[in-house]
Structure 1
Amino acid sequence: MNNFLGQEVTDPTDFGDDKLSKLDASLRCPICKEFLDGPVNLNCGHSFCSLCIRGSLQAKTECPCCRSHALESHLKKNLALEESVISWKAARPVVLAAMTRPSSPPAAAADDERPTKKRRLNTTPSGSGSSKRSSFASTGNGNADTPIELASSPPPHDDSSPAPSPGDLVVCPACSKRVQLKRLNEHLDRNCKDTPVPRLEPGKGLGNFFTRPSESNPPSSSSSTASKSKAKPREPIAKFSYDAMKVHHIKAALAKYDLPQTGAREALVVRLQHWVEIYNANLDRREALQHSDASLRAELKRWEDAQAHLLAKGKTEVPEDIGAYEDAHKADFADLVKKARANSLKAKAQSQQQPNTPAISKTASQSQTAVSPLRRIDEDVIVVD
C-alpha cells in the first residue's frame, strides 16, 4: 500500500497549456486513463491498451468509445503509437520542468549597440603562384578595412616532382583514405570497401566435400550456443471453447503453461481466460518491452489475490461469539430501537389526522347498490344502520 501511495500519479491537467493537455490525453487509454501499454487499434480507428480492450470485448463485443461492432480478431497493434508514448513519457518531466522554470532575464542592451559588420572576399595573387583569400571587416562608417586571412588554397601540383611508384601510398579521391597506388582502381571499384580474401576453415575445403559428417570437425560450442539462444518467437494463444471443455481439459491447458490447477471449474475457467488475455496482450508490445512467462505468472497471481480480496470484502462477516458482539455494540442497538419506536409513534399520529375512511367506503357501497338494479339473489348484502 505504501508503494502504491508513493507512486507518482500523472494527469493531463498537469499542464496549464491546453495543447499539451490534449497531447497528453491523446496518448492515454480511454478505459484505464493511463498511458497506452501495448496499444492496439480497432477497425473504427480507436486505440486502447491491449489488455484493457481484450477484457472489455469479453463482456461486450463493441467499441467502448463509438459502440460500433468489434471483435478480438479486429485488433491490430500500433508500433508507431507505442514509440510515441515511450518518447512522450521520457520527455514529459522535461517539459514540465521547463514550464515551471522562471524565464531568463532579457539580454543586455549593449549587444544591440554592436556595429554591424560586412564581409567581402578579395583574392590577391601571391608571388609564389598560390592564391590566398582575405576578408575585410568594415565598420558601419566605412573608415577602415582590416584584412583577415581565412584560408589558403593548397599549392598547385608541381610537374617537376617525380611520379609515385606503384607501391607508394596515395590519397583516395572518394574517401580520403591512403591506399597503395596499384590498388587504387580496385579500391574504387569496391566503393572504397577493402574486403579481405576469406580464409578457408579447416575441414571446409573441396577435399573434404566427400567425407562423412562424422569424419569432419564437430561444430564448435559457440555456434551451438548461439543456435540455442535464438529462441522461437512466441505466438498468441487461440481462444478456447470453455463451455465445451471438461475439467481435465481445462487442467491440461493450465498445466501446459505451468499454471495452478486447484479450485472449482469456474475458478479454473477464469484463471485460464485471464491468462490468455495477459499473454496475448504481452505480445502486442514491442519485443524489447515484452515480459517473460514467469513475470506473467506473477501478474496472474496478483490479479487472483486482488479478486479474492474483493470477494471476501463484499461478504457479511458472521461473528463467532454473538454474546460478546451484542455487549460490544449494545449502545448501537439501543439507539436503533429508539429510532424505530419514534418512527412508529410518528406513523400513528399521521394516521389519526387522516379523515374517517370507513364512512367513505359506506357511502360508496350504498351508491353502488342503488346504481346497479340487476343483482344476483344469492349475493350477500350488508346493511349498515
Structure 2
Amino acid sequence: MEFFKTTTTVTDDPTEFRQTEIQVLDACLRCPICREFYVNPVITTCFHSFCSRCIREAIDTDVRDRRSCPICGEKISSEGNLRMNTALEVSVDAYKNARPLILSLSKRPERTASSNNSSDPDSRSTKRKRNIEVIDLSDDEVEEKGDSGVAKSELSLGKQGSIGGTEGSSVPLVSCPICQKDIPELTINEHIDSLCKNFLEPMTSSRNLTVPSANNNNNNNNNNNNNNNKISGSRSEDRPSGSLNLGSRSRSPTGSSSAPPAKRLAKLNYHTMTEKQLRTLLAEHSLPTVGTKPVITARHQRWVLLFNANLDGAHPRKTSDLRTDLRKWEEARERESKAKERKEKAGPVDDDAYQELHKSDFKALEEEIRVRMKAAKERREKENADTISE
C-alpha cells in the first residue's frame, strides 16, 4: 500500500480560485495541449496559440498530409508557419509573478453589505473633513531646507488650502508636455524635474493658482538651470526596476546578449543520409554519437525540435540545458521501450484476474478519494459560514 500513499503538494490549477472569473483568466493563459502556463508561445495561421515545443511535437507525430491545428483542425503545412507570440509570453510572465498575491486576495472573506452600512454616515463624513492650513514661511526659513527653489515652491503651492487666500500673483496654467496635466506656468520646470509628481493642479474649478511672489521665483529660476540638465538622466534612473521592457530581447541560447542570434536548424531527409553523416551532425552539437541509425536519427530529430522551440522565447535557455532535456527524453524513451517489450513477452493480460488481484488497492483508492472530497466539502462550507457571519 505504500505505492498509493499520497503526499500533500501545492496545486497549480485554475480551480484553486473560488471566483469563476479568475478561473477563466487562469485557464486562458495555459496551453491547450499540456494544460500548463505557456512556455515560448507561438501562434498559428488560424490564430491559436500553443507552447512552441507542444505544437511542434504535435506536428511531428501527425501524418505529413494531416498536419492540423489541435483546436480547429485547420491544416498546418509546416513549422515555418508558426510565429512567436511575444505579447502572450509577457502577459503569462506577469500573471505568474502576481498569481500568489491574486490567490491570497481571492481567498479572503468578503465583507457583507450589512457590515459596510453599520457605521454612521455622519461619523464617516466627519472623518473625511480636513483642516485647511496655510503655511507662510519667510525666505530665510525656506533657504535653510537645502534646495531653496524646490522647497519654497512645494511649501507655497502644495500646502495651500484655498486658491485666493494667500498673497501673490495669479498666473494661468499651462499643459505639461509629458503628463498633459495643467501646471502653473512658473513651476513647470520644477514639475518636470520631479518626474511630474509635484505642483499638480488641485481639484478645483478655477483655472488660476496662487504662486509664490516674484522674489521667491528668482531663486527658483537659478536652480532650474542646474536641474534641467538632470531631467533625462533622472527619468531613466527613477524608472521602476520591475517594469516590463519589451524592447530588448535575448535571442542567443548561449546566454550572452551580445552574441548574434542563432539560426534555426533545418529538417533533414534522414532516409538518404548515412550513419556517418548523422554522427557528424550530432558531434557538431556536442551530442552523443552512440547507437543504431534509428536511435541517432530520433536523437537528432528531437534535438532540432528542442533547439528551434527554444528560439521562440524572449529569454532562450542555454544549450547545456537543452542537452540535459534531450538526455532525460532519451532515458524516458528507453524505459518505455523496455516496458513495452516486457508487456509483449508476458502476453495478453486477463482483465478479470487483474481486477481481482488488485481489488484491495482499488478500494483503498476509492476510500481515499471519498475522504478528500468530504474534506473539501467541509472546508467550503466553513468558508461560506465565515463569510456570512462577517
Question: Which TM-score applies when normalising by structure 2?
Answer: 0.54
Equivalent residues in 2 for 1:209-288, closer than 5 Å: 230-287=258-315
Structure number with the higher helix fraction is: 2
Equivalent position to 1:54, from 56, 61, 72: 56
Give me the whole-angstrom Cα distance separating, in 2, the residues matched to 1:79 and 1:67: 24
Give me the whole-angstrom Cα distance separating, in 2, the residues matched to 1:157 and 1:298: 68
What's the counterpart of residue 177 of structure 1? 225
Equivalent residues in 2 for 1:67-86, closer than 5 Å: 67-70=73-76, 71-86=78-93
User: How far did residue 299 of structure 1 move?
Assistant: 0.7
- Change over 3 Å in CA distance of 1:172–1:29 after alignment to 2: same
Paired positions, count: 244
Whichever residue aligns with residue 71 of structure 2, its letter is: C
User: How far did residue 102 of structure 1 move?
Assistant: 2.8
Do the aligned residues in 2 keep the contact of 1:171 with 1:177 (CA within 8 Å)? no
Equivalent position to 1:63, from 61, 65, 69: 69
Does the residue aligned with 2:265 lie in a helix, a strand or coil? Answer: coil
- Change over 3 Å in CA distance of 1:7–1:274 after alignment to 2: farther
User: How far did residue 316 of structure 1 move?
Assistant: 2.2
Equivalent position to 1:38, from 37, 40, 45: 40
What's the counterpart of residue 26 of structure 1? 28
User: How far did residue 28 of structure 1 move?
Assistant: 0.8
User: How far did residue 76 of structure 1 move?
Assistant: 0.2
Q: What are structure 1's unaligned runs of at least 5 residues?
A: 133-149, 159-168, 180-187, 195-227, 320-331, 337-385
Give me the whole-angstrom Cα distance separating, in 1, the residues matched to 2:105 and 2:259: 44
Give me the whole-angstrom Cα distance separating, in 2, the residues matched to 1:59 and 1:193: 54
Do the aligned residues in 2 keep the contact of 1:40 with 1:48 (CA within 8 Å)? yes
Does the residue aligned with 1:62 lie in a helix, a strand or coil? Answer: coil
1:301 paired with 2:303, answer: no
Whichever residue aligns with residue 86 of structure 1, its letter is: D
Whichever residue aligns with residue 81 of structure 1, its letter is: L
Equivalent residues in 2 for 1:317-336, closer than 5 Å: none
User: How far did residue 131 of structure 1 move?
Assistant: 6.4
1:111 paired with 2:124, answer: yes
What's the counterpart of residue 313 of structure 1? 339
Give me the whole-angstrom Cα distance separating, in 2, the residues matched to 1:62 and 1:15: 33
What's the counterpart of residue 154 of structure 1? 213
Whichever residue aligns with residue 111 of structure 1, its letter is: R
1:88 paired with 2:77, answer: no
Higher-Rg member (1/2): 1
Give me the whole-angstrom Cα distance separating, in 1, the residues matched to 2:211 and 2:34: 67
Give me the whole-angstrom Cα distance separating, in 2, the residues matched to 1:291 and 1:78: 17
Give me the whole-angstrom Cα distance separating, in 1, the residues matched to 2:231 and 2:24: 51
Whichever residue aligns with residue 319 of structure 2, its letter is: D
Deviation per residue, 1:245-304 (Å, 9 max, x gap): 1111111110110000111110111000000001110110103xx111111101100111
Give me the whole-angstrom Cα distance separating, in 1, the residues matched to 2:211 and 2:10: 60
Do the aligned residues in 2 keep the contact of 1:12 with 1:24 (CA within 8 Å)? yes
Q: Percent identity?
A: 31
RMSD over equivalenced CA pairs, Å: 4.0
Give me the whole-angstrom Cα distance separating, in 2, the residues matched to 1:44 and 1:240: 26
Do the aligned residues in 2 keep the contact of 1:172 with 1:178 (CA within 8 Å)? no
User: How far did residue 170 of structure 1 move?
Assistant: 8.0
Does the residue aligned with 1:48 lie in a helix, a strand or coil? Answer: strand
What's the counterpart of residue 138 of structure 2? none
Do the aligned residues in 2 keep the contact of 1:171 with 1:178 (CA within 8 Å)? no
Does the residue aligned with 1:16 lie in a helix, a strand or coil? Answer: coil
Give me the whole-angstrom Cα distance separating, in 1, the residues matched to 2:106 and 2:165: 51
Question: Which TM-score applies when normalising by structure 1?
Answer: 0.55
Whichever residue aligns with residue 33 of structure 2, its letter is: I
Give me the whole-angstrom Cα distance separating, in 2, the residues matched to 1:22 and 1:124: 56
Do the aligned residues in 1 keep the contact of 2:56 with 2:79 (CA within 8 Å)? yes
- Change over 3 Å in CA distance of 1:18–1:306 after alignment to 2: same
Deviation per residue, 1:156-203 (Å, 9 max, x gap): 599xxxxxxxxxx98658x81349xxxxxxxx9x99889xxxxxxxxx
Does the residue aligned with 1:177 lie in a helix, a strand or coil? Answer: helix
Do the aligned residues in 2 keep the contact of 1:29 with 1:35 (CA within 8 Å)? yes
